[in-house]
């Protein structure tokens, strides 16, 4: 069985999800849908672009004419596509809040849907993480994949929790102001605290790791490359620094980077992925700075880096597999996705 996927909303996340779907052998990128003939869309659909040949649809009927007038070949509206019965699942990558509105349309045509972290947790039947609750997502119709920051915390804390049992967590999140191409949101020469204390990230982690007592505070800083987290977890049991290092690496989708080897900051880590010729210098792995892992009695510390544009892509692919019953076993899906995206 090959599952027919439509990606709705072709921005930072949507274009990557669409490209990743194309790399799988058990799913087909049947369509993409969006609202404007942006420069990105044009590039993606060029003969040398990664989405060349993909059927294009318009998500909002009122925007159809403008897209066609701008010279795009648009098949029709997203609603017409869903009504045709040619789509099994939509990955909704629209801006915050729009996914919840779209859910009504997906339900009307009995099409499954994945929502992103900008939506409230109750948009789906559950919030997904490949390592924590893959089995629970089997056959589900509406599921949310949490945000980049939340995904990084879930991946790393889940490893520590299995090793030593987590009592509580406090994490400080230093957030990139905007994605590199999002010139409207970029800030300069300022640092902005998130004034909701604790920030929403802790409760979001608890939508997946329900038993973990976690609080977070966040700050926006003038950079576009990545987020950085400083984590302090208190554990119930005992753990040694080298045990945690080994467990992080074994988990996959977490890598260790060494400041001593020159990877001192977000820029040098991103440069590594440029040098490795990863598409768009994407790093779906959480990068933990090896030297920052420290254990002091029951206190465990580390800092990690999150490439916000790509970290959630593998989880979206695994989520499609689980919801469409393509793979019953989470680890088999993780391996398949990792291989297709070049994650070792």
Active site residues: 148
24 contacts ligand NAD (rule: CB under 6 A): no
Q: Which residues ranging from 298 to 317 are in contact with ligand NAD (CB under 6 A)?
A: 308-309, 312
323 contacts ligand NAD (rule: CB under 6 A): no
Distance of alpha carbon 186 from alpha carbon 222, whole angstroms: 7
Q: What is the DSSP string of 257-317?
A: E-GGGT--SHHHHHHHHHHTT-GGG---SEEEEGGG-EEETTEEEEEEEE-TTTTTHHHHH
The stretch near ligand NAD (CB under 6 A) out of 33-41, 135-143, 194-202, 211-219 is 33-41
Query: Is 177 or 217 the residue whose CB approaches ligand NAD more closely?
Result: 177
Distance of alpha carbon 101 from alpha carbon 80, whole angstroms: 17
> Of 3, 10, 231, 293, which one interacts with ligand NAD (CB under 6 A)?
10
The stretch near ligand NAD (CB under 6 A) out of 24-32, 43-51, 88-96, 320-328 is 88-96
59 contacts ligand NAD (rule: CB under 6 A): yes
117 contacts ligand NAD (rule: CB under 6 A): yes
Residue 125 near residue 141 (C-beta atoms within 8 A): yes
Cite the DSSP H helix spans in 63-179: 64-69, 78-83, 98-108, 148-164
For residue 37, what are the contacts with CB-CB under 8 A and spacing of at least 6?
66, 67, 70, 71, 72
Give min distance, CB of 241 to ligand NAD, in A: 30
Query: Is 31 or 164 the residue whose CB approaches ligand NAD more closely?
Result: 31
Tokens of residue 77, six digits: 């509206």
Residue 232 near residue 299 (C-beta atoms within 8 A): yes
Query: Is 94 or 235 the residue whose CB approaches ligand NAD more closely?
Result: 94
Binding site for ligand NAD (CB under 6 A): 8-14, 34-36, 59-60, 93-96, 98, 116-119, 147-148, 179, 308-309, 312
């Amino acid at each position: 069985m090959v599952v027919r996927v439509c990606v709705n909303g072709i921005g930072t996340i949507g274009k990557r999800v669409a490209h990743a779907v194309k790399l799988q052998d058990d799913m087909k990128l049947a369509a993409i849908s969006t609202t404007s003939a942006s420069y990105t869309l044009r590039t993606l659909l060029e003969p040398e672009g990664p989405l060349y040949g993909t059927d294009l649809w318009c998500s909002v009927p009122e925007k159809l004419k403008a897209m066609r007038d701008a010279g795009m070949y648009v098949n029709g509206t997203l609603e017409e596509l869903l009504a045709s019965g040619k789509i099994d699942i939509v990955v909704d990558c629209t801006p915050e809040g729009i996914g919840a509105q779209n859910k009504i349309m997906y339900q009307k045509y009995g099409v499954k849907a994945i929502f992103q972290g900008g939506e409230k947790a109750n948009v789906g039947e559950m919030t997904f993480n490949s390592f924590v609750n893959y089995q629970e997502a089997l056959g589900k119709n509406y599921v949310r994949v949490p945000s980049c920051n939340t995904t990084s915390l879930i991946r790393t804390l889940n490893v520590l929790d299995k090793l030593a049992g987590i009592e509580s967590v406090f994490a400080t999140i230093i957030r990139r102001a905007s994605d590199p191409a999002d010139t409207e949101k970029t800030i300069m020469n300022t640092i902005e605290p998130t004034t909701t204390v604790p920030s929403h990230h802790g409760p979001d982690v608890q939508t997946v790791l329900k038993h973990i007592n976690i609080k977070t505070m966040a700050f926006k800083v003038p950079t576009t490359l990545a987020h950085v987290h400083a984590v302090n977890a208190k554990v119930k049991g005992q753990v040694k620094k080298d045990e945690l290092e080994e467990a992080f690496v074994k988990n996959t989708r977490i890598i260790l980077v060494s400041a001593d080897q020159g990877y001192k900051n977000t820029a040098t880590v991103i440069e590594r992925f440029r040098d490795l010729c990863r598409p768009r210098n994407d790093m779906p792995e959480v990068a933990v700075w090896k030297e920052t892992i420290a254990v002091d009695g029951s206190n465990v510390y580390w800092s990690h880096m999150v490439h916000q544009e790509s970290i959630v892509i593998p989880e979206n692919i695994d989520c499609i597999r689980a919801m469409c019953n393509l793979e019953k076993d989470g680890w088999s899906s993780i391996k398949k996705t990792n291989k297709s995206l070049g994650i070792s």
